[in-house]
Structure 1
Amino acid sequence: MIVSEPREEIAAWVGARIGVEFHPPYTTLAHVDRGRIIAGFIFNAWTEHDIEISLAADRLSLTLMRAVYDYVVNQLGCRRATCRTRADNSKAQTLLERCGARQEGRQHGYFGDCDALLYAIMKEDFPYGLHAKGPQGA
């Protein structure tokens, strides 16, 4: 089941897994299976055309990825999403690239003990959106 509440619980779950603490304002989406979160997204730093996304997941579903695309593009009206990952997290980098993200830069010491890689996903490059469910997209 895809849920957006309780925001604080979803943010705490994601934050504990990626080593950050989130402070409002933010919104959330999560996939809950048998009463436990298996994937969560935090959306913050919205600037009308861009939203910053943080993610943690045990596994990702196509349903959740389409819900994320719908939220970012159709509800928020963003053209792009910005993501950061640890430079030593090759699984996250692979996932971002599979979702259409392109690396835009490096932020030295962002995580304290590790650099961050900065990625952007443009709405036209996000594979679970424009043509995923026909001409209208997700």
Structure 2
Amino acid sequence: MIVSEPREEIAAWVGGRIGVSFHPPYTTLAHVDRGRIIAGFVFNVWTAHDVEVSLAADRFSRTLMRSVFHYVVHQLGCRRATARTRADNLDAQTMLARLGARLEGRQQAYFGDCDALLYAIMKEDFPYGLHAEGA
């Protein structure tokens, strides 16, 4: 089941998995299976054209990815989503590439002990977005 509430619980789950704390305003989406969050997204720093997306997951489903794309593009009206990951997190980098993200840069010491890699997913490139919807 895809849910957006309770926001604080979803944000705490994602934050605990990636080592950050979220402070409002933000919105969330999560995939809950048998009462347990298995994937969560936090959306913040919305600028009308872009939104920062933080995510953590045990696994992803096509339904969840379509829901995320729909939320970013249709509800928030964004053309792009921005994501950061630790430079030493190869699993996250692989997953972002599978989602259609492109590496845009590196931020030195962003996580304190590690650089961050900055990625963007444009709505035209999101594999679960426009092409999946038959646009």
Q: TM class by shorter-chain length? A: over 0.9
Q: Give yes or no for the alignment of 1:15 onto 2:22.
A: no
Q: Structure 2: where are the runs of 5+ without partners?
A: none
Instruction: Give, in whole Å, the separation in 1 of the partners of 2:73 and 2:42.
Output: 15
Q: How many residues align?
A: 135
Deviation readout 1:4-31 (Å, 9 max, x if unpaired): 0000000000000000000000000000
Q: TM-score, normalised by structure 1?
A: 0.96
Instruction: Give, in whole Å, the separation in 1 of the partners of 2:53 and 2:6.
Output: 17
Instruction: Give, in whole Å, the separation in 1 of the partners of 2:131 and 2:48.
Output: 23
Provide the residue aligned with 1:25 in structure 2.
25
Q: Structure 1: where are the runs of 5+ without partners?
A: none
1:57-136 equivalences in 2 (<5 Å): 57-135=57-135
Please identify runs of 4+ aligned residues in structure 1 that moved more than 4 A.
none
Q: Give the Å deviation of 1:121.
A: 0.4
- Identity value in percent: 82
Instruction: Give, in whole Å, the separation in 1 of the partners of 2:51 and 2:102.
Output: 15
SS at match of 2:91: helix
SS at match of 1:125: coil
Instruction: Give, in whole Å, the separation in 2 of the partners of 1:129 and 1:123.
Output: 7
Instruction: Give, in whole Å, the separation in 2 of the partners of 1:114 and 1:31.
Output: 29
Deviation readout 1:68-108 (Å, 9 max, x if unpaired): 00000011110000000000000100110111100000010
Q: Give the Å deviation of 1:133.
A: 3.2
Deviation readout 1:38-57 (Å, 9 max, x if unpaired): 00000000000000000000
Provide the residue aligned with 2:49 in structure 1.
49
Instruction: Give, in whole Å, the separation in 2 of the partners of 1:14 and 1:101.
Output: 19
Q: TM-score, normalised by structure 2?
A: 0.99
Deviation readout 1:103-134 (Å, 9 max, x if unpaired): 00001001111000000000000000112132
RMSD: 0.6
